[in-house]
Amino acid sequence: MSDQTVPLYQKRIPIHPRSVKGRFRTLKTGILTLAYLVYFLLPWLRWDRPNAPNQAVLYDLPGRHFYIFGLTVQVQDIFWLAGVLIIFAILLFFVTGLAGRVWCGYFCFQTLWTDLYMMIEHWVQGERPARLRLSKGPWSREKLIKVSATYAIWLLVAFWTGLTFTMYWVDAPTLVVDFLLGRAPSSAYFTTLFLTTTTFVMAGLAREQVCVYMCPYARFQSAMFDHDTLIISYDRQRGEGSKGRARLGKGLKTREERQAQGVGDCIDCGYCVQVCPVGIDIRNGLQYQCISCALCIDACDVVMDNQKWPRGLVSYTSENALNGKKTTLLKPKTLGYGVILTTATAVLIWSIATRSPYTAMVEQIRQPLYTQLSDGSIRNVYEVKLNNKLTAPMTVGIRIEGLAGATLDMDGMERIALEPQERIKLLARVRIPPPRVKEGDAHEKRDDVHEKDDLEHAKVTFVVEALAGATAKPIRRNVPFYVPDHD
Ligand code: SF4
Ligand code: SF4
């Protein structure tokens, strides 16, 4: 047995990516700008909503309402959230099977914030060689100023990220004032502090380690890959030739010279490695650390352009394409995901579009199940719960049907005006005339008088309909009507 112990913790080697210009960098910057504009500005967007908060997107937890532009979501609509999560999960499978880790490379919060932090670092400390020099050099006045300035700006961004997140739960302008005056709720301070810390640590210090060691998606995404999935790959055949890669040098300057020597197009400049935010070498093949940010494509394109050689030594491709086979994007698996995705999205949209402006629940009060009054008539009592989901007043009417001869008594509340977003509970008494017993009953049969035997499984239907302030289909609730046993 060996005495050697394997360390459980591998010391991080800091990565100082070099900047690069190109089409994928431009695309990433565009997505990043759009994502930040949406995230940071959305809480400040107002929405004309009478009788309710005027913030366009607000998750009002105390009021148990989520406002998303014209849509008001209540707690009981939480299944929509489940629908959204299911749609996102299927979308992830669909996109990953088709185009690999585009989520990681372009849209993930970790990527977006790390990218911004790297831009700040670049802006304050300079290009990669300057940052390397600063990092490896001893502490000096310059190093102290530049590192402090970088950390200060990172902290500011982290703080504003945390505060902005909190603004989605409380009216934004009020929160900012209250926060600065020290009178915001403690939960607001705690949430902001938590997100400030996590943003600073994840995007500033941990960076690629989050993707490599912490993110579960990085681990299981390979299960969604197949031979046709788009991956970022180095064309080994072209780059290495028969004798491998070689730097530009005497007799190895033009493609013709290199090909004559059996040397490939890779000039071993290392630019693709220097721009990589996770610090890997794409020339070593597909690696789970690769977040498919495509910056190595931009880097190699720059090199190829400088040499006036064709682009594509590092490119988006597929395993099948690399092996000289045809890439088929529309496979049964992808089509299956597409169909499920379309169906789930359509069901969610339909559910939201056809939502009722109000809800009505009717529950029987079971203690007692029924009351037999002195004249022999039978009464059941119900609790009716009404919920106006609108931010405007509305009037609803309540009536019963399906139980001949039954009368409804709600103390005059059969027609009721509901305030915006009001929830109320009402008592409803349903009464039927004394039922007849079949045997020996000489009375003539009447439609409004029940025979006791017929009432064994009797039901009454409450019909709640919008009379003013909203247009919707009436809501019908069937509930049992109990009578005494006839023996
Ligand atoms: S290898 Fe290329 S695509 Fe992968 S993370 Fe590095 S730069 Fe991005
Ligand atoms: S950037 Fe292109 S040429 Fe330079 S090392 Fe990478 S693959 Fe080779």
Query: CA 37, 39, 45: angle at the middle one, nearest 5?
Result: 80
Query: Is the CB–ligand 1 distance for residue 292 below 6 Å?
Result: yes
Which residue carries 């040499």 as its tokens? 307
Cβ-proximal residues to 391 (8 Å cutoff; 6+ apart), any chain: 49, 50, 51, 52, 72, 420, 421
Cα Rg for the chain, rounded, in angstroms? Answer: 34
Contact status, residue 337 vs residue 224, Cβ threshold 8 Å: no
pTM recorded for the entire structure: 0.83
Q: Which pLDDT does position 275 carry in this prediction?
A: 97
Q: Is 300 in the pocket of ligand 2 (CB under 6 A)?
A: yes
For domain 358-439+447-480, say whether CATH 3.40.50.2300 is its number. Answer: no
Beta carbon of 304 within 6 Å of any ligand 2 atom: no
Strands 57-60 and 65-68: antiparallel
Q: Is 282's C-beta closer than 6 angstroms to any atom of ligand 1?
A: yes
Q: Is 211 in the pocket of ligand 1 (CB under 6 A)?
A: no
pLDDT in tens, 365-378: 988 889 999 998 99
pLDDT of residue 277: 95
Q: What ranges do the domains of the chain cover?
A: 23-224, 231-322, 358-439+447-480
Of 329, 153, 93, 143, the closest CA to residue 230 belongs to: 329
Question: Which residue minimizes the CA distance to atom 1 of ligand 2?
Answer: 300
CA of 270 from ligand 2 middle (Å) equals 6
Query: Which residues are within 8 A (CB) of 258 and not within 5 positions of it... i.e. 6 or more apart?
Result: 241, 246, 252, 264, 265
In the predicted model, residues of the chain with pLDDT beneath 70 are 1-10, 437-449, 452-453, 486-487
Q: What is the pLDDT of residue 487?
A: 53
**What are the phi and psi torsion angles at 241 (to 5°)?**
60, -150
The reply to whether ligand 1 has any atom less than 6 angstroms from the CB of 232 is: yes
Task: Give distance in angstroms: CA of 430 to centre of ligand 2.
Answer: 83
Question: Which residues in 330-458 belong to E strands, given as ranges?
Answer: 358-364, 371-372, 378-388, 394-401, 407-409, 415-418, 423-432
